[in-house]
């Protein structure tokens, strides 16, 4: 059994105590440190080497957003899940764009918070398609008019198959679900996701999802070349040709 090393960051000692009690009871999670402010995070990460950081957004000196941006800019950065009392706002969106793997509400049932930590440690985002749409609608409604054009220009570096995979990631599908929809192995999906992240300079699947939304690929009626429709119907048969080989999936483990 692989034990997940977890760092808790929240300025409220009662919240930290509750999280430690809840998460520390899981046999596969070890609480390796606690911090009361974002300015303590970097030193604790260096010392404790956590796999996942559970990060509050609002803290007195250095907020969780700034701390997340600083963490995710480092090599071998831990995954970050932000804690929030809101379903969607500009701050949560900023955290996701900074590289957070998702967010959980502070009133989320204990079992779901434990599951969220496990998912993030395994490389899966903690965002339902509904919540992602809510966040991106908010962002598109308040963002610059150039957002869609910029996103499409970035996605232009992907080949057709990679764009199909990116769309299904944006739909919130797991690797197994993508494999079934696009007729490829899970190993091939992991390889494609790894290549997408590398080509686009992104940190995780959440950022792929945000970029596909920004590009309008999940609007239903405005997807470029109908990618959403093709992915939703299973796409073309990827068992042969350039998509039929998993290649070296070891580099994609966890994506």
The predicted pLDDT at position 20 comes to 94
9 plus 93 within the same structural domain: yes
At 155-206, the pLDDT tens digits run 999 999 999 999 999 888 888 899 999 999 999 999 999 999 999 988 788 8
pLDDT band, residue 10 (cuts 50/70/90): very high
Number of H helices, E strands in the chain: 12, 5
The predicted pLDDT at position 135 comes to 61
Instruction: State yes or no: pLDDT of 149 exceeds 60.
Output: yes
What CA–CA distance (Å, rounded) separates 229 from 233? 6
109 plus 48 within the same structural domain: yes
The stretch 128-154 carries a mean pLDDT of 66
* pLDDT greater at residue 243 or residue 177: 177
Among 136, 170, 163, CA closest to 224: 163
Which residue range is the domain that position 193 belongs to? 135-252
63 plus 140 within the same structural domain: no
Q: Which of 126, 143, 169 is the last residue of a domain?
A: 126
* pLDDT greater at residue 70 or residue 253: 70
Q: Which of 126, 145, 178 is the last residue of a domain?
A: 126
* pLDDT greater at residue 10 or residue 95: 10
What CA–CA distance (Å, rounded) separates 138 from 212? 15
At 100-139, the pLDDT tens digits run 888 888 888 888 899 989 988 987 777 655 555 566 565 5
Give the torsion sign (CA, 22, 28, 29, 32).
Answer: positive
Environment class of residue 188 by beta-carbon count within 10 Å: exposed (0-12), middle (13-18) or buried (19+)? buried
CATH assignment of the domain containing 234: 3.40.50.2300
At 11-69, the pLDDT tens digits run 999 999 999 999 988 999 999 999 999 999 999 999 999 999 999 988 999 999 899 98
Quick one: CA torsion of 6, 49, 16, 102, rounded to 10 degrees? -60
86 plus 21 within the same structural domain: yes
* pLDDT greater at residue 218 or residue 137: 218
């Amino acid at each position: 059994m692989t034990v997940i090393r977890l760092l808790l960051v929240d300025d409220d000692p009662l919240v930290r105590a509750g999280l430690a009690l809840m998460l520390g009871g899981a046999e596969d999670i070890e609480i390796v440190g606690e911090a009361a402010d974002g300015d303590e995070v970097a030193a604790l990460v260096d010392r404790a080497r956590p796999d996942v950081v559970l990060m509050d957004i609002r803290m007195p000196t250095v907020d969780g957003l700034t701390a997340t941006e600083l963490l995710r800019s480092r090599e071998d950065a831990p995954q970050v899940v932000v804690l929030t009392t809101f379903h969607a706002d500009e701050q949560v969106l900023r955290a996701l764009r900074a590289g957070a793997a998702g967010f959980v509400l502070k009133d989320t049932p204990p079992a779901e918070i434990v599951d969220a930590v496990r998912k993030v440690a395994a490389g899966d985002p903690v965002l339902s398609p509904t919540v992602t749409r809510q966040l991106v609608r908010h962002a598109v409604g308040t963002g610059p008019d150039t957002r869609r054009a910029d996103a499409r220009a970035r996605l232009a570096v992907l080949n057709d198959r990679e764009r199909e995979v990116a769309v299904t990631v944006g739909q919130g599908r797991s690797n197994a679900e993508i494999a079934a929809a696009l007729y490829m192995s899970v190993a091939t999906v992991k390889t494609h996701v790894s290549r997408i992240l590398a080509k686009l300079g992104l940190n995780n699947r959440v950022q792929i999802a945000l970029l596909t939304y920004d590009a309008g690929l999940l609007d239903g009626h405005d997807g470029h070349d109908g990618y959403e429709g093709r992915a939703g119907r299973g796409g073309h048969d990827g068992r042969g040709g350039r998509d039929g080989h998993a290649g070296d999936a070891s580099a994609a483990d966890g994506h």
